Amino acid sequence: MAILQSGRLFGFACLLVIMAAVAYYIRSAKGGKVPKVRRVAGIDAIDEAIGRAVEMGRPIFCSHGIANLRGATSGPQTLAGLSVLSYVTKKSIESNARVIVPVRQPEVWPIAADIMETEYKLAGRADEYDSDDVRFLSSNQFGFSSNYMGLMMRENPGANIMIGAYWAESLQLAETGNRVGAFQIAGTAQTSQIPFFLVTSDYCLIGEEIYSAERAAEGPDLVVGYDRGYGCSDESTLGEITDAIIEDNTSRWSGNHLMSPDVVPGVLLTDREIEGDGYDLTDLTVTLLAHYGIAPAEGMVGRPIPLR
């Protein structure tokens, strides 16, 4: 059998390029050159959508799609939509905004209701939760979409956030949201429906972007790591507020998880001298195995640290 088959050379060339790129970026990251990961505009716009609805004094619609939790490909999309619902509810409570959740699947209905109720309880405003805002519309696909469209026409939402698995109803819902003037953010991993969301929504999350929506929305813009000689005081770790903002550190150093990894990539305490530098955590396991005369398992990375 020929190693190179006609008609597959282009795919083979693409594979080589991808492998080379992966190897290059892994090597660059180990050397401290970490590429900047772009932010997803649709995720950043969730807060903007909530603010827009609050300014207009109109409710927010937050849909997790029409699928159940049992589908191999659609179930995870429903979970992604529910995680976004949790974030939207929390932010809406802070802004005193009303959230309406249209539901198709009976098995998802109590889960969506529990997510909203939990957020109200965590905010100390459990008495403000209204179970009628989590509405079971219909288990029929187009019965659900027609009820959803009618609900939008009656409630006139300021924002319509749809994250989850959608099928033929996607264009109907997005067009209706457009008609009532709602700020729309949509996202799905159903490739056949992404084009409809792209042309009818203000922002669109494509494919795997929906799975990181909640976590990315809560992620900080800046992660601070301490430089050498600096750290967080013992008092502040216990929740105390001291008079001094910056003060001398007189505590005995016993470890710190907040150092910038560029400054202190790791600390190895040993009674023997280490030859060379540039080692990291992946080298430690290999070094321990080498000390006991055990060869590293296949696939393990790292190199033994030479000790004198």
Contacts of 31 (CB under 8 A, 6+ apart): none
Q: What is the architecture of the domain spanning 41-218?
A: 3-Layer(aba) Sandwich (3.40)
273-302 pLDDT tens trace: 888 887 877 788 888 898 888 988 887 888
Going from N- to C-terminal start, the domains of the chain cover 41-218, 268-308
Cα–Cα distance list, 237 to 24, 232, 234, 243 (Å): 39, 7, 5, 15
274 secondary structure, DSSP code: B
Sheet order of strands, 159-165 included:
134-136, 99-103, 60-65, 159-165, 183-188, 203-206
pLDDT, residue 278, reads 79
Length of the chain equals 308
**pLDDT, tens digit only, all 308 positions of the chain:** 556 667 788 888 999 999 999 999 888 877 777 777 778 899 989 999 999 999 999 999 999 999 999 999 999 999 999 999 999 999 999 999 999 999 999 999 999 999 999 999 999 999 999 999 999 999 999 999 999 999 999 999 999 999 999 999 999 999 999 999 999 999 999 999 999 999 999 999 999 899 887 666 666 666 667 777 777 777 776 777 777 777 777 766 655 667 666 666 667 778 888 888 878 777 888 888 988 889 888 878 888 888 87
Calpha distance 18→38 (Å, rounded): 20
Contacts of 219 (CB under 8 A, 6+ apart): none
The two structure tokens encoding residue 166: 């959608």
Calpha distance 149→173 (Å, rounded): 6
147-204 pLDDT tens trace: 999 999 999 999 999 999 999 999 999 999 999 999 999 999 999 999 999 999 999 9
Q: Are the C-beta atoms of 304 and 295 separated by less than 8 Å?
A: no
The two structure tokens encoding residue 93: 């409570």
**Dihedral-angle region of residue 40 (phi above 0 means left; psi in -120 to 50 means alpha; beta otherwise):** beta
What is the b/e burial string over 157-172, where b = at least 16 CB atoms within 10 angstroms of the residue's CB?
Answer: bbbbbbbbbbeebbbb
φ/ψ of 163, rounded to 5, equals -125, 120
pLDDT, residue 217, reads 65
